[in-house]
A and B are shown apart, each in its own frame.
Chain A
Amino acid sequence: MNHSVAATSPMVIDPETERGMGVYNMKLGMWVFLLSEVMFFTSLIGSYVILRFAHPEHFPDPGVVLNVPLTAFNTFLLICSSVSMVKAFAAIQRGDQKGLKLWLLVTILIGATFVGIQVVEYNLLAHEHFVPIAAEYAPVGRGIEEGPVVGGPLYGATFYTMTGFHGAHVTIGVLCLIFVLIRAMRGAYTEANHAGVEVLGLYWHFVDLVWILLFTIVYLI
């Protein structure tokens, strides 16, 4: 067996679906969708970077306004969810139904926790008056004295747009994972047919990948 076959789906696929790119249509469709998502998030991140360069007075140091330790923990969670998702995929590749359900459930729980923590973060920031159109805000407990920080509405607008859209993607991913878990409990996936798990996995890992970049650009730089 060619080693290059490793880690891909040994699925029963109609040869017609393999023409062109050499992958089955559902996976190709997901890749094309993800490429459009690359452009979508690039436009958001690009806008943020450009606005920050153009109007530095609107953008205080992220470490002062944002809760970096909390978000670092959230990043840790999302990375863990990626490995649990890939373990679910590896399990069904072996025909391990129990492993598939277990790892899918773990991924759902971690993904839901990520969204929950993001809601908590938004709540904390809103209490400090850091809302999308805020011209000034009063961060507390992060190494500075409480009080208004000179800032501008661009910061809140770009921050909530980027992280909000990402959070929406995670939420949609969790809902899709629940759907896949229900199907898995009904025995819809087998060693020979697990395209749904693989394709959703691609989406989930992409969401993780985007967060890796967002965390660095929005919270650390």
Chain B
Amino acid sequence: MVANSTDGGGAVAAEGHGGHKDPPYLAIWFVLLVLTGAEVGYAFLSLPKVWLVLGLVFMACWKATLVALYYMHLRFEPRRLWVLAASPLPLVAILILAVLTEF
């Protein structure tokens, strides 16, 4: 049998060999490079620290999300795997908040 490791929808950009469609890997790579360049440029702007941190974290999260969704193919995986992948996030929040309360 053919293992269908997904049950979710997902738009794909290019059709590869054998009817399988791949995400636009090179376009995503280009976006990642642009975001990295933007991050480095943004880091050297004379901005208040809060805006600096918010902007950099926002761009880093976008990059991480792109890698997870398209390079790790999470977008095309079953929703159940999405739940599994998101499961440590509440634990991460608890860990950070618990330590923050120390101060």
Which A residues fall within an 8 A CB radius of B?
Answer: 1-13, 15, 17-18, 20-24, 27-28, 31-32, 35, 38-39, 42-43, 46-47, 49-50, 53-54, 63, 68, 72, 75-76, 79-80, 82-83, 85-87, 90, 93-96, 191, 201-202, 205-206, 208-209, 212-213, 215-217, 220-221
Query: Are the CB atoms of A22 and B5 closer together than 8 Å?
Result: yes
Q: Which residue of B lies closest to A87 (CB)?
A: B25
**B20 is contacted by which of A6, A24, A28, A72 (Cβ under 8 Å)?**
A6
- Main secondary structure on chain B at its contact with chain A? helix
Q: How large is the interface on B (under 10, 10 to 19, 20 to 34, 35 or more residues)?
A: 35 or more
Please tell me if the beta carbons of A23 and B95 are within 8 angstroms of each other in the complex: no
Nearest B residue (CB) for A94: B17
B84 touches A4 (CB 8 A): no
Chain B residues with CB under 8 Å of chain A are: 1-12, 16-23, 25-26, 28-29, 32-33, 36, 39-40, 43-44, 52-53, 56-57, 59-60, 63-64, 67-68, 71-73, 76-78, 80-81, 84-85, 87-88, 91-92, 95-96, 99-100, 102-103
> Bound complex: CA of A24 vs CA of B77, how far in Å?
11
The answer on a CB contact under 8 Å between B76 and A7 is yes
